[in-house]
Amino acid sequence: MPQPLNSPLNRAGVIADITGPVLTDADRDFIAQPELSGLIFFARHYESPAQLKQLCADIRAQRPDLLLCVDQEGGRVQRFRDGFTALPPMMTLENLLHEDEAAAIELATELGWLMAWEVRCQGVHLSFAPVLDIERDVSRVIGDRAFGHSAGTVITLATAFVQGMAQAGMAAVGKHFPGHGAVVADSHKDLPVDERSRGALEYDMQPFQQLMAQGLLAGIMPAHVVYPALDPLHTAGFSRLWLQDILRDGLGFQGVIFSDDLTMAGAASVGSYGQRAQAAMDAGADALVVCNDPDGAQQVVEQVRQQCHEQGWQHLDLSALQGNPDALHTEANQQRADAVRRLLSRF
């Protein structure tokens, strides 16, 4: 199993994206900057498994330390499709769990393994998964991305899914701390506010807490949501109370805190990209994720550079989360993948 990367304070890096499915000269200049700790891929970066494998190799030839990431959850959030197995939304597992718990746990494990194995075979190290939000049938953005409607269901199924990921050598990043499933607004487009009590929020934190206690999460991604019961002024991703007092000190999390995308509307209230980056660092985020805006990404890079130069911070090295690529391409793994695909055809 990939080991969590201990991420002390006073360390920061950027995870951004490139232009398209091949490296351009401008991309090469961009990724040469030491403030960049990783890249994230989207559908526009993908044409075929062979093309993706070549793109990853080209990136590694220049920056072997970069963590190559994607959102490959399944269902409607699956960036690589043609040539990859169509993964079902994780909510599919909830009904099965009620009918046959052992079968649901087995399928969750196999889905986690297959997702991670297919991605890693092409050179991508990490998918930002699992979603640990508890669905309340109100969210515009979570919905069937969640594993279920209760903390117990999410814990059971997400634990199995992460264990499957680990069998393929992939680390896990739980999102969206402390829980995004009870607000209607989509933080990509709006600034959601969750007005529930502290007790309700503590219930939603249970999946994060339980998986952290088992040592299953190398990273956490906080939500761009305001929770006035604890911090009325900041979203969780910009809140020192949430990231330091609760996540680090209270829950003892020692892994990497990844910001959610700093281009999202839920982050825009903080100000410019430089201000968003600084607010995330001040709150305790280690890896600053900024997507689909090259100018914004460069501003975040420059803010991290300033932080390192003026405050003596270190560049965040995420290479420990890349995992070991050995033994991916084996006959046993291919047979396992075929078996999982046959299993999926029954659902």
Between strands 287-289 and 256-257, the pairing is unpaired
Whole-angstrom CA distances from 238 to 171, 235, 302 are 24, 5, 19
Which is catalytic among the residues 231, 260, 261, 286? 260
Burial class (CB within 10 angstroms; exposed 0-12, middle 13-18, buried 19+) of 50: exposed
How many residues are listed for the chain in this entry?
A: 347
**Amino acid, res. 221:** M
**Amino acid, res. 119:** V
Q: Which residues is 18 bridged to in the sheet? A: none
98 is catalytic: no
Which is catalytic among the residues 65, 186, 188, 190? 188
Residue whose token pair is 């934190």: 205
Closest by Cα among 176, 186, 282, 262 to 220: 176
Cis check: omega of the bond before 176, within 30 degrees of 0 = yes
234 is catalytic: no
Ramachandran region, residue 10 (left: φ > 0; alpha: ψ -120 to 50; beta: rest):
left
Residues noted as catalytic: 188, 260
